[in-house]
Amino acid sequence: MALRKILVEGDPALNKRARPVSRFNDKLRVLVDDMLETMYDGDGVGLAAPQVGVLRRIFVMDLDDGEGPRVFINPRILETDGDQEGPEGCLSLPGLFGIVKRPMTVRVQAFDTEGQSFELEAEGLAARCICHENDHLDGILFRRHSQIPLCALDELPGMEEPAEEEADTEGVTL
């Protein structure tokens, strides 16, 4: 495994639509392992392949919820329900946060690294992360969805210093 450079806003690759994965091989598995290592090193909970300069429809996430890391290859959001509004950040926009409205629940179909199809229904933070990372695959940064100008986390409206037990979910960097 190796750390990859995370592209930051301004890099044209972040504005391009990623292409589907067609080969499920060792090269793909190495990329996924590298993406996970890079995500953990950046203290993120999600990372899309375009963020490391690979224009393929892949993202990874690990919400530290006991489920372990999840890999989504060629994902398709099949259904959404409800709304949630909350803070978002991004490894490609370091130190910047916004308030973004996302679905409360999503149902997604994707493939794993072996090429096996699966469906997953996610809610709350998992749904937010799936939507955020899936946007990266279409060349969309969360700035486009933010209801306020991006700012530092402590400058977000209503974001006082969270109590220590709340600190896990406030201002998550996706």
Residues 105-147: tens digit of each pLDDT: 999 999 999 999 999 999 999 999 999 999 999 999 999 999 9
What is the overall mean pLDDT for the chain? 93
Three-state SS at 164:
helix
pTM for the whole thing? Answer: 0.90
CA–CA gap between residue 96 and residue 126 (Å, rounded): 20
Tokens representing residue 74 in the block: 């060629």
Among 133, 155, 165, 166, the one annotated catalytic: 133
Structure tokens at 69: 């890391």
Residue pair 78/120 in contact (Cβ under 8 Å)? The answer is: no
Q: What is the pLDDT at residue 39? A: 98
Helix segments in the chain, DSSP class H: 26-41, 125-137
Dist. CA 45–CA 62, nearest whole Å: 5
Residue 133 is a catalytic residue = yes
Residue numbers of the chain with a pLDDT score lower than 70: 159-172
> What is the set of domains in the chain, with CATH numbers?
12-166 (3.90.45.10)
